[in-house]
Amino acid sequence: MIAWLREELKVRKWDRKAQLIRASFSEDIHRAHVARDWDKRNDLSFNADFEASQYEDEAAEIRSNRLVRRARRLSLPIPSRQGNSAHWCQSQTLGTWALTDVGFAELRRAVRLEEKERRDVWLTLGGMLVSILSLVVAIIALLKP
């Protein structure tokens, strides 16, 4: 629980930093757009994307690793990391690997389905146990004079 909270705070920190970087560049980009200085606008946009992507890539890696750990605990197959995979992409700035939107959605769907199936088994057993205990209590109540 503590590790999850630490990771979540780190992800939010990286997301916040990326937003602040994009916000700091947005006014200059807007001024260049109004002045119709397309080269400066494109340079500023590229710089904003590059600097923000460093933090966004860190956050994506943490989210991906967290989901992969959940899938491994459930013994689910993990998509392989390949250069041309639709499930993984490698960061251009840091070289780290993160799940793509498609890969993240598919793996999260598989994790949720497996967790639901395991939970349903326990709910069924719990319902049966309550029924049996109710029957035992009813029989004991009938046998008392």
Q: For residue range 85-122, what is the model confidence (pLDDT) as tens digits?
A: 889 988 888 888 999 999 999 999 999 999 999 999 99
Residue 134 has pLDDT above 90, yes or no: yes
The whole-angstrom separation of Cα 143 and Cα 87 is 63
3-state secondary structure 9-76: HHHHHHHHHHHHHHHHHHHHHHHHHHCCCHHHHHHHHHHHHHHHHHHHHHHHHHHHHHHHHHHHHCCC
pLDDT tier at 57, thresholds 50, 70, 90: very high
Six token digits for residue 11: 């992800």
Q: Amino acid letter at 103?
A: G
Q: Amino acid letter at 105?
A: A
Residue matched to tokens 């395991």: 118
**What is the largest distance, in Å, between two alpha-carbon atoms of the chain?**
97
Residue 133 has pLDDT above 90, yes or no: yes
Residue 80 in 3-state DSSP?
A: coil
Residue 108 in 3-state DSSP?
A: helix
Instruction: Give the model's pLDDT for residue 83.
Output: 67
